[in-house]
Amino acid sequence: MVKTRAIVITGNGTNCEVEAAHACRLGGFDEAVIAHISDLLSGDLRLDDFHFLNLTGGFLDGDDLGSAKAQANRFKYARVDDLSEHLIDQLLRFIQAGKPILGVCNGFQLMVKMGLLPAFDGNLLQQVATLTFNDCGRFQDRWVYLKNNPASPSIFTRGIDRGIYLPIRHGEGKFVAASSEIMDRIEANNLAVLRYSGPDYEEPTMAFPENPNGSEHAIAAICDESGLLMGLMPHPEAFVHRTNHPRWTREELPEEGDGLILFRNAAEYVRSKLV
């Protein structure tokens, strides 16, 4: 049987690679490779040989020019050593092959700033939204309730009942669309996958700290129209076991954490559609 292979790109300030790879394995991938970006730029590893790409959390280039801006620039312009192509060529080929990409936190910022999300009409390199400084003006580490949009095309959130509970850890997580037309289109196509809400997962909220950053329309996650590209500010890889939960010593919780379903869905998708 062909092995299902996930890749987590690291380097230049990515921090969540170990737990992201761990979540991929727990979710059902046969292999999860942590690849330093230099492994890709040297040509030692190629995206083509993988089925699922994780752009995970961290502080790429220290968020120096705004979160993920420098990496978005690097992805667009860096050449691969031994091949006559740029890294972006491999990435676009990966998307065209119908393979899923999950961007978490800094990875979500990267996807949005490159234009990979929401990527209307398959226009993958035009930025139409952004993630900017939290309204509270500070980095925040806290847990949030995320109301699921069951009508979204995302392959990652299939089977989520009402919502999931995950930590956010960011200073720049406020989702802003470039115009109201763009926001309307995100809403009309159900591309807003997860929204900050109260503990009952009923109504989206704009109130701090349930909505920790002041995101427009309380958006915490969006996907593209295919549902294969998704990004979210909360960290699904940080809640894969009940001991990750802040109240595991006082609540009856299942063994498995809420975040694992995203990786399980990715693994199932790859197994059923790509190998």
Partner 1 sequence: MTRRIEIALRVQVRDPRGERIKREIEHFLHLPVERVRTIDVYTVDAALSDAELQQAAAGPFCDQVIQEWHLDTPAARDFDYLVEVGLRPGVTDNVGRTAREAVEYLTGRPFQPGEGVYTSVQYLLSGKITHADVERITTGLLCNTLIQRYTILDAATFAAQRGVPVFVPKVLGEIKTEVREINLEVTDQELMRISKDGVLALTLEEMQIIQAHFRDVQVLAARQKMGLGPRPTDVELEALAQTWSEHCKHKIFAGTVQYEDEEGNRQEIKSLFKSFIQRTTKDVREKLGDRDFCLSVFKDNAGVIRFNDDWSLVFKVETHNSPSALDPYGGALTGIVGVNRDPFGTGQGAKLIFNTDVFCFADPFYDKPLPSRLLHPRRIYEGVVEGVEHGGNKSGIPTVNGSLVFDGRFAGKPLVFCGTAGIMPATINGKPSHEKHIEPGDLIVMAGGRIGKDGIHGATFSSEELNENSPVSAVQIGDPITQKRMFDFLIRARDKGLYNFITDNGAGGLSSSIGEMSGECGGCRMDLAKAPLKYAGLNPWEILISEAQERMSLAVPPAKIDEFTEMARRFGVEVSVLGEFTDSGYFHILHGERTVAYLPVAFMHEGLPPMQLPAKWVPPRHEEPRVVIQNDYTADLKQLLASLNVCSKESVVRRYDHEVQGGSVVKPFTGAANDGPSDAAVVRPVLDSFEGVVVAHGICPRYSDIDTYHMTANAVDEALRNYVAVGGSLDLVAGLDNFCWCDPVLSEKTPDGDYKMAQLVRSNQALYDVCMAYNLPLISGKDSMKNDFYDGSVKISIPPTLLFSVIGRIEDARKAVTMDVKRPGDIVYLLGKTGNELGASEYLALKGFVGNRVPQVDTAKAYKRYRAYHEAVMAGLVASCHDLSDGGLAVAAAESAFAGACGMNLDLTRVLWTGDDGERNDVTLLFAESASRHLVTVRPENRGAFEAAMGGNCFASIGVVTAEPVLTITGIDGGTVVRAGLAELKEAWQRTLKDL
Q: Would you tell me which residues interact with partner 1 (CB under 8 A)? A: 10-16, 18-19, 22-23, 36, 38, 41-42, 57-59, 61-66, 69-70, 72-74, 77-78, 113, 127-130, 132-143, 167, 169, 176-178, 214, 235, 237-238, 240, 243-244, 246-247, 249-250
* Minimum CB–partner distance for residue 244 and partner 1 (Å): 6
Nearer to partner 1, 147 or 169 (CB): 169
The minimum distance between CB 29 and partner 1, in angstroms, equals: 14
* DSSP line for 52-107: EEEE--B-GGGGBTBTTHHHHHHHHHPBPTTSSSBHHHHHHHHHHTT--EEEETHH
For the bound state, the minimum distance from the C-beta of residue 167 to partner 1, rounded and expressed in Å, comes to 6
Nearer to partner 1, 206 or 275 (CB): 206
Backbone dihedral angles phi then psi of residue 106, each to the nearest 5 degrees: -60, -30
| For residue 118, cis peptide bond before it (omega within 30 degrees of 0) | yes
* Given 16, 17, 237, 245, the catalytic residue: 237
Q: Does residue 77 contact residue 85 with C-beta atoms inside 8 Å?
A: no
- CB of 23 or CB of 116, closer to partner 1: 23
Is 237 annotated in the active site? yes
Q: Which is nearer to partner 1, 70 or 219 (CB)?
A: 70
- Cross-sheet strand order for the sheet of 229-232: 31-36, 5-10, 52-55, 101-104, 229-232, 219-223, 192-197, 140-148, 163-170
Determine which one of 51, 170, 235, 245 is catalytic. 235
Catalytic residue among 51, 105, 223, 245: 105
Smaller CB distance to partner 1: residue 88 or 228?
A: 88
- Decide if 105 is catalytic: yes
One-letter-per-residue 3-state SS of 183-236: HHHHHHCCCEEEEEECCCCCCECCCCCCCCCCCHHHEEEEECCCCCEEEECCCH
Asked about 24 being catalytic, the answer comes back as: no
Helix (H, G, I), strand (E, B), or coil: what is residue 167? strand
The catalytic residue positions are: 105, 235, 237
